[in-house]
Structure 1
Amino acid sequence: MSIHIPNILLAIPRNPITAVGIPLALGFISGSQTSKVSTSNWYHNLNAPPGRPRREVFPFAWTILYLAMGYASHIAVKALDSTVLEGNRNDLSLGIALYYGQLGLNYLWSPLFFNQQQMGLALIDSVLLTGTTWYMTKLLDRPTNAKATYFLLPYCAWLGFATYLNAGYWWLNQEPKSLSRK
């Protein structure tokens, strides 16, 4: 059973420029307030988990990851355009649908964590994002002869690390539960 993807969502990654441009633009929009919040008292007063990189690392890492995931979408759509095998067509269609789903989850994370300061909701988003991206990568592997996987594995690894960081922030900064006696 093949998933129908609207033509516009297939047309975007057919062109490598728009394929990498969409995640870059969404990442820029989503993270535009992050720099301001990451220098705020709220953020500086958070207990950080071990292994947190300096905040200057994140823009560079995410730029590379957005470029890589965008190019992986280009590879996937090109494979979909040329495949004749129904199994590959199904995996590619679902993988591309999941690609757009993970883009949405990725877009939501920064506003949840930084703007709304909802570390628990951001953690749920991060777990869903990581799981979706790993499954998408698995689906795209065989029909693209692992080409998409080469671009997506660093993203998968980074999402695992980012989920660890998010979980650490959430865990280390929970409000202490008051003990009340009756």
Structure 2
Amino acid sequence: MSSISLPPILLELPRNAVVAILLPLVLGSLSAYPTNKIVDGPWYRGLKHPSFEPPDATFGIVWPILYASMGWASHLAIKAYEQDLSDSSRMDAYTGLKLYWIQLGLNLVWTPIFFFAKQIGLAMVDLVALTGTVYGMTFVLHNATNGKTTLFLAPYCAWLTFASCVNFGFWYLNRGRSGFKDE
């Protein structure tokens, strides 16, 4: 991971706290916005839903908070990276920033995979990779920021763990069904 360098723009964006928070909020909103029609449409309504799936309104509350929190964590990470830290802490901050951008990409592609491509199994694979990346990011940034980022990333870890269970529930309940895209 250390041999791959971040483009300068990916280090520059989180330096500004407002940009760091707004960027994932805007990108997440753009990714999720078109799903309303699909959620109200025949494909999604025709799926068997896990009994523990939260109400639709929950997502509009939880995700903006998580996007803002992850953005703030990226801001804290770049601040830690720029401080006069030990080489290992500085490397942890840099690695955490790499993982931040990877997880943001994985996060943003989940919605099109699940809702537009209707590939629930592939969405599950993406979500497992996303969850692992976020746990790794949380761990390395904890060290680099003396735990400051953990407060903002732990709820994201918890939500992704729960979301993985929900995604698995959708896949499990609908596998082998006629009209189910992941056949």
- TM-score range relative to shorter protein: over 0.9
Query: Can you give the 5+ residue segments of structure 1 that lack an aligned partner in the other structure?
Result: 178-182
Match of 1:168 in 2: 169
Where 1:154 maps in the other structure, the secondary structure is: helix
What RMSD in Å do the two structures reach over aligned CA positions? Answer: 1.4
Instruction: Give runs of aligned pairs for residues 10-25 of structure 1, distance below 5 A.
Output: 10-25=11-26
After superposition, what is the alpha-carbon deviation per residue over 1:33-77, rounded to whole angstroms, capped at 9, x for unaligned?
111111111111111112111111101100000000000000000
Would you say 1:82 and 2:71 are equivalent positions?
no
User: Given that residues 2 and 93 in structure 1 are in contact (C-alpha distance below 8 angstroms), is that contact kept between their aligned partners in structure 2?
Assistant: no
Residue 82 of structure 1: how far off its partner (Å) = 0.4
Where 2:176 maps in the other structure, the secondary structure is: coil
Where 2:56 maps in the other structure, the secondary structure is: coil
After superposition, what is the alpha-carbon deviation per residue over 1:97-148, rounded to whole angstroms, capped at 9, x for unaligned?
0100000000000000011110011000000000000000000001101110
Instruction: Give runs of aligned pairs for residues 59-78 of structure 1, distance below 5 A.
Output: 59-78=60-79
Partners of 1:6 and 1:150 lie apart in 2 by 27
TM norm structure 2 = 0.93
1:121 to 1:34, Cα distance in 2 relative to 1, 3 A: same
Instruction: Give runs of aligned pairs for residues 73-112 of structure 1, distance below 5 A.
Output: 73-112=74-113
Percent identity, please: 46
Partners of 1:9 and 1:102 lie apart in 2 by 13
1:143 to 1:152, Cα distance in 2 relative to 1, 3 A: same
Match of 2:144 in 1: 143
Where 1:145 maps in the other structure, the secondary structure is: coil
Partners of 2:169 and 2:90 lie apart in 1 by 39
- Pairs aligned (count): 177
User: Given that residues 3 and 94 in structure 1 are in contact (C-alpha distance below 8 angstroms), is that contact kept between their aligned partners in structure 2?
Assistant: no
Greater Rg, structure 1 or structure 2?
A: 1
Where 1:52 maps in the other structure, the secondary structure is: coil
1:116 to 1:134, Cα distance in 2 relative to 1, 3 A: same
